[in-house]
Each structure stands twice: as C-alpha cells, then as structure tokens.
C-alpha cells in the first residue's frame, strides 16, 4: 500500500541543532549521522564506525555530557572530540515543582525560542509530556498553544533533549560499570530494554506544544533514539503520540514510529468539531476514524485513545456521549476515551463542564463497555495543565484571537 507523503507545513532542513560556537551538537543524531560526522572530520571508516557506536551509547544510554568521562575512548582522542563536538541539553529558563509533585520546565533553544515540558508522577508510573514545535500552525479554539504563531519545528536534538534533561533532573542514568559495546550493525537493536525497573520516568506523551505529525521527520528520528535499546531504551508501548487528526500522516506514523496513538477528537458532529478543532474542515470525522481503524498494530491490547476536552454546553450532552459510542462501534475501533476537564486560560471563550455533567458523560460511555476515565488535572498551581503551556505569553483580545484563527485556517487551505 502506498503510504501518503510528506506534508509538514514548515520545512526544516536541519536535523542538527544550531549553535553559535562552530562546534556541532551531537544531541539528537543517530549512529549513522555521528559516524558520518566523524568521517567528515577525517577519522578513517573503521574508527568512525566504532567510535560512533561508543559515543552513541555514552550519550543516550549513560546520559554523559562530556567526552572526558568516556573511559573506553583513548585519552588522546577525547580532546579531539571536545574540540569539534558538544553534547547539548536544552537551556532551562525556569523549573517549577507543584504541590502535587508535577514538574514543569520552561526551556529555551539556542536561537531563543521558548517551549515547555511537564513531568507527571503517579503511583505506578511517571509520564513526561514533551513538545514537538514552538507554537502550532493549528488553532483549536480551546488550546492556548493554538493562540501562538508557529515559530518553528523543534529539531530531533531539541525533542530528545527534553527526555535527556528530565532524566538528568530525576537522577535516572545507569550507574556503575558500562557493559562493553558490541561492534555489530546499527539497525538491529531498536527494541527497548527498560520497562519500569524502578525508574520514575516510565512513559512519554507527545502532548506538549505543537502538532507532532506536522513535524514528522524530526519526531520520528527523535523517537527512534528514545526507543533504541542502546539509546534511551524506552519501549514503544510506553510512548503515545497525540494528533489533532493529520489524516495523511497517520499511516506513516504507524509504520515508521509505531507508538501508541491518541487522537484529539473533542466533538462528534461536523459543526462542533469544525469550530473547536478546525483541521476538521480539511480532514473530517469519518476520514479520521477510518484512518484510526487502519492504524497499524491497533488491537484490543493496543487501543487508540480518544481525547475529549469537556466544554460546557458545547460538546458535553448525553447525545454527544451516545454518538461517541456509536461512532466507535461503527468503525469497530478498539478504543478508550480520555475525558479532559477543560483548563481555562486568559482570554479563553469556553468554560469547563460541571463535574456532574462530566461524570454522567463518562458513565454513558462506560455503560457501553468502553473505558472513559476522567483525567485529574495536575500541577494547576504551576500552570502545568494541558493547554496552559507557555503560560508566560500575553493575553490576546477576542478580536486578535479571531483574526489569528482566520489566518491559520487560510494557511491550512
Ligand atoms: N497537537 C496535538 C498534541 C498537543 S495538544 C493534539 O492536538 O493532539 C495535547 C492535548 O491537550 C490535546 O488533546 C489537546 O486537545 C489538549 N488540550 C489543549 N488545550 C487544552 C485545554 N485548555 N484544556 C484541556 N485540554 C487541552
Ligand atoms: Fe495545536 Fe494540539 Fe493545540 Fe490544536 S490542541 S492548537 S493541534 S497543540
């Protein structure tokens, strides 16, 4: 089957994170890219292959940021590496911890763009919510990120860098002696080795700023490193990519990234979804649900999550709940529904549904045999909840929000 092609609206030709000092940041590069850089720096092919393998392991598996500690690399070689390369991390502008343990980081790229990530600890897991873009080209009317212009796609280094930084902050790099690095082929080992194994950071969700399927290549390349057994070693079953419904990229996401899929559905009629998730005017509900049914690997063991933000008198009636059940049945989707209480932000035009309404909505779906838990808002005291990221940005007037919505809609075509 032909898998639809590339439609990232903002093309970034760079996979390397830009830097001012002339050295190259290896963060976000895979074995092959590191090997090519070493060859371009005049290492012979055999040495470049071995060294890239070692360096990859040190960077992503061990979390080191200095070549000096790479004990299986000759002492004379380490300054050679340090003169040419760095192992970067996103700059932290602000780190906050909520009373409920949720952590939020405001991060800055080398070209001074701000983006955020959030860590949410639970009893049995710890979920890191990462960003894929600075801003978003889409304009979901309940989402704060949607009120920002897209500044740019994040590079693979800036995406993987978020996970690296979280592991730094949580102190979760393996300690002790390193197992020797086998000199085998690159692509044979991309199965995660870690499960929970006592770590706090067990899961990743691409639910921060941005639409991951509009930055497909960089998100894919970053996740490959996160999943690589010699990299961060996180199983694909512990990673969830959330999309607003970029239908032409969903099959590719399944084939090439193959992580869990979450879909921001939020409404069951064309009229309401057109209003609150405007990409619906381009790819409608039927098309979207068909793409969900065809998502590679979807099964009862690997269900699709439908995210549904609860907006008072907008999408929260009993009829909406019944229609949601019938759509899931019509497309025979192994699915669960995540009900998200709306988090208001300055200037937002919606209100959150009442708790009793949300409960009733949830019950209708549960009674039909479909799981529909209500997500508890976390980190409210530090503005870490969904859709509130980059809370430092200014409040826009209603007229400005409307104009922005029109501009973004026109750009979408
Ligand atoms: N662009 C992707 C991923 C980022 S948004 C997407 O839209 O799926 C991640 C989730 O946060 C989405 O389900 C989104 O609808 C939800 N969200 C955004 N703003 C919110 C808000 N103010 N309150 C509650 N959920 C919100
Ligand atoms: Fe973009 Fe997702 Fe926010 Fe919609 S909900 S504006 S797609 S980040």
Q: What CA–CA distance (Å, rounded) separates 293 from 333?
A: 6
CA 388 to ligand 1 center in whole angstroms: 9
- Phi and psi at residue 412, to the nearest 5°: -70, -30
Ligand 1 atom with least separation from CA of 344 = 22
Contact residues of ligand 2, CB 6 A cut-off:
136, 138-140, 143, 145-146, 210-211, 244, 264
Residues 141 and 206 in one domain: yes
Q: Is residue 219 part of a domain?
A: yes
Residues 46 and 166 in one domain: no
Residues 160 and 266 in one domain: yes
Q: What CA–CA distance (Å, rounded) separates 9 from 20?
A: 27
Residues 265 and 131 in one domain: yes
- Phi and psi at residue 173, to the nearest 5°: -85, 145
CATH number at residue 254: 3.20.20.70
Residues 121 and 39 in one domain: no
- Which domain covers residue 66, as residue numbers? 24-88
91 is in an annotated binding site: no
User: What was the pLDDT predicted at 186?
Assistant: 40
Q: Is residue 185 part of a domain?
A: no
CA 178 to ligand 1 center in whole angstroms: 40
User: What was the pLDDT predicted at 116?
Assistant: 93
Calculate the alpha carbon distances from 269 to 288, 327, 364 in Å: 13, 10, 18
Contact residues of ligand 1, CB 6 A cut-off:
140, 142-144, 207, 211, 242-244, 264, 307, 309, 340, 342-343, 386-387
Q: What CA–CA distance (Å, rounded) separates 72 from 77?
A: 10
User: What was the pLDDT predicted at 305?
Assistant: 98
CA 143 to ligand 1 center in whole angstroms: 6
User: What was the pLDDT predicted at 147?
Assistant: 86
Ligand 2 atom with least separation from CA of 144 = 3
Buried b (16+ CB within 10 A) or exposed e, 60-85: bbebbeebeebeebeeeebebbeebb
CA 210 to ligand 2 center in whole angstroms: 6
Calculate the alpha carbon distances from 145 to 124, 142, 193, 389 in Å: 29, 9, 34, 7
Condensed to tens digits (0 to 9), the pLDDT of residues 90-117 reads 999 999 999 999 999 999 998 889 999 9
CATH number at residue 47: 1.10.150.530
Residues 323 and 271 in one domain: yes
Residues 208 and 294 in one domain: yes
User: Which residue has a Cα nearest atom 15 of ligand 1?
Assistant: 264
172 is in an annotated binding site: no
What are 342's two structure tokens?
């709306």
Q: Is the dihedral of CA 73, 69, 202, 339 positive or negative?
A: negative
What are 222's two structure tokens?
């970053």
Q: Is residue 399 part of a domain?
A: no
Q: Is residue 392 part of a domain?
A: no
Residue numbers in the chain where pLDDT is lower than 70: 1-19, 175-198, 385-395, 413
Domain boundary among the residues 36, 70, 88 is at 88
User: Which residue has a Cα nearest atom 5 of ligand 1?
Assistant: 207
351 is in an annotated binding site: no
Question: Which residues are the active-site residues?
Answer: 116, 386
Residues 235 and 320 in one domain: yes
What are 144's two structure tokens?
């704060």
């Amino acid at each position: 089957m032909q898998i639809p092609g590339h439609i990232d609206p903002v093309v970034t030709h760079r996979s390397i994170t830009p830097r001012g000092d002339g050295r190259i940041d290896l963060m976000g590069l895979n074995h092959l890219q590191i090997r090519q850089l070493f060859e371009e720096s005049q290492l012979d092919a055999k040495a470049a292959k071995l060294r890239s393998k070692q360096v990859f392991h040190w960077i992503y598996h061990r979390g080191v940021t200095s070549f000096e500690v790479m004990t299986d690399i000759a002492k004379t070689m380490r300054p050679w590496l340090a003169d040419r390369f760095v192992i970067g991390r996103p700059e932290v502008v602000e780190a906050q911890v909520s009373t409920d343990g949720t952590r939020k980081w405001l991060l800055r790229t080398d070209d001074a763009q701000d983006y955020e990530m959030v860590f949410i600890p639970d009893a049995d897991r710890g979920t890191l919510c990462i960003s894929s873009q600075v801003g978003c080209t889409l304009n979901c009317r309940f989402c704060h990120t949607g009120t920002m212009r897209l500044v740019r796609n994040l590079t693979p280094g800036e995406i993987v860098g978020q996970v690296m930084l979280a592991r730094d902050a949580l102190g979760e790099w393996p300690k002790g002696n390193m197992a020797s690095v086998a000199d085998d082929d690159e692509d044979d080992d991309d199965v995660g080795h870690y499960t929970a194994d006592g770590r706090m950071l067990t899961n990743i969700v691409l639910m921060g700023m941005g639409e991951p399927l509009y930055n497909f290549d960089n998100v894919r390349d970053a996740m490959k490193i996160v999943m690589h057994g010699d990299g961060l070693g996180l199983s694909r079953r512990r990673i969830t990519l959330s999309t607003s419904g970029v239908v032409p990229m969903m099959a590719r996401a399944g084939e090439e990234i193959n992580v869990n899929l979450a879909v921001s559905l939020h409404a069951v009629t064309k009229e309401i979804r057109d209003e609150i998730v405007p990409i619906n005017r381009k790819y409608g509900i039927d098309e979207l649900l068909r793409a969900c049914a065809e998502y590679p690997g979807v099964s009862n063991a690997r269900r699709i999550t439908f995210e549904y933000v609860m907006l008072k008198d907008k999408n929260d009636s009993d009829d909406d709940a019944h229609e949601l059940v019938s759509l899931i049945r019509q497309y025979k989707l192994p699915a669960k529904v995540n009900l998200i209480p709306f988090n208001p932000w300055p200037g937002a035009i919606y209100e959150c549904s009442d708790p009793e309404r949300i409960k009733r909505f949830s019950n209708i779906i549960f009674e039909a045999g479909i799981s529909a838990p209500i997500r508890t808002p976390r980190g409210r005291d530090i503005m870490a909840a969904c859709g509130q990221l980059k809370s430092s940005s200014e409040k826009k007037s209603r007229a400005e929000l409307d104009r922005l919505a029109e501009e973004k809609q026109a750009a979408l075509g």
